């Protein structure tokens, strides 16, 4: 059997995600949200950089609302050409539909935090922390430029494969949370 390309895996796993029922999304998202909100990484962080979920992704909206309630500094991404920047939001009303139909911050202060948690999206992951994202390379570049942030990814169990091929420029998250597992890839254990 030939190894699938990133593009093939991306297409196949987007289709699988679209096929999830609202109940499957809700149940899995609640399990991941509970793990994340109970983690010492979350409890100890002041800044949470997080995308707004769409298209049956693991729900991040409830995490955003909880983080705002917990007085975290919450920032959401906006793309500018080849780069992505995060803008602080004070509530869901700070988000407007932008490019590609994605909710993004409107008229909010741009942040450049050197520490905190960065939530990283992905379509397919492997047990070694490699990820296939949406193909733009925005998060790979952002993680490389902000090594002090703890990168955490959320995935459904079926999105984690034994191994996927990766490129030299691919950045790995520090942690991957699924409904049934917490994978840690922290090289230097930032929290010991």
181 annotated to a ligand binding site:
no
74 annotated to a ligand binding site:
no
10 annotated to a ligand binding site:
yes
The least confident of 24-28, 123-127, 129-133, 184-188 is: 184-188
133 annotated to a ligand binding site:
yes
CB neighbourhood size of 168 (10 A): 4
25 annotated to a ligand binding site:
no
23 annotated to a ligand binding site:
no
Q: What is the mean pLDDT of residues 29-51?
A: 97
172 annotated to a ligand binding site:
no
81 annotated to a ligand binding site:
no
Which of 90, 53, 84 lies closest to 72 in space, CA to CA?
A: 90
pLDDT tens-place string over residues 91-101: 999 999 987 78
Q: How far apart are the C-alpha atoms of 162 and 64, rounded to whole Å? A: 30
Its CATH architecture, for the domain 6-184, is 3-Layer(aba) Sandwich (3.40)
pLDDT tens-place string over residues 63-92: 999 999 999 999 999 988 888 999 999 999
pLDDT tens-place string over residues 141-174: 999 999 999 999 999 999 999 999 887 778 999 9
135 annotated to a ligand binding site:
yes
In the β-sheet with 124-126, what is the strand arrangement from edge to edge?
A: 131-132, 124-126, 160-161
Q: How far apart are the C-alpha atoms of 103 and 118, rounded to whole Å? A: 17
Q: What is the pTM of this model?
A: 0.92
Q: How far apart are the C-alpha atoms of 8 and 133, rounded to whole Å? A: 12
Relative to beta strand 124-126, strand 149-154 is unpaired
* Whole-number pLDDT of residue 82: 87
């Amino acid at each position: 059997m030939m190894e699938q390309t990133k593009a093939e895996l991306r297409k196949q796993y987007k289709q699988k995600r679209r096929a999830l029922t609202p109940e499957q999304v809700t149940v899995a998202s609640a399990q991941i949200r509970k793990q994340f909100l109970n983690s010492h990484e979350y409890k100890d962080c002041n800044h949470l950089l997080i995308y707004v979920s769409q298209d049956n992704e693991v729900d991040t909206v409830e995490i955003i609302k909880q983080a705002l309630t917990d007085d975290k500094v919450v920032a959401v991404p906006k793309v500018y050409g080849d780069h992505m920047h995060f803008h602080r939001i004070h509530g869901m009303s700070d988000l407007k539909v932008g490019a590609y139909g994605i909710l993004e911050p409107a008229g909010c202060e741009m942040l450049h935090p050197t520490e905190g948690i960065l939530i990283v999206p992905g379509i397919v992951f492997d047990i070694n922390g490699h990820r296939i994202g949406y193909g733009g390379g925005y998060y790979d570049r952002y993680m490389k430029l902000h090594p002090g942030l703890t990168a955490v990814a959320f995935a459904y169990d079926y999105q984690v494969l034994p191994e996927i091929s990766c490129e030299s420029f691919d950045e790995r998250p520090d942690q991957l949370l699924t409904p049934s597992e917490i994978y840690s890839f922290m090289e230097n254990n930032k929290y010991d």
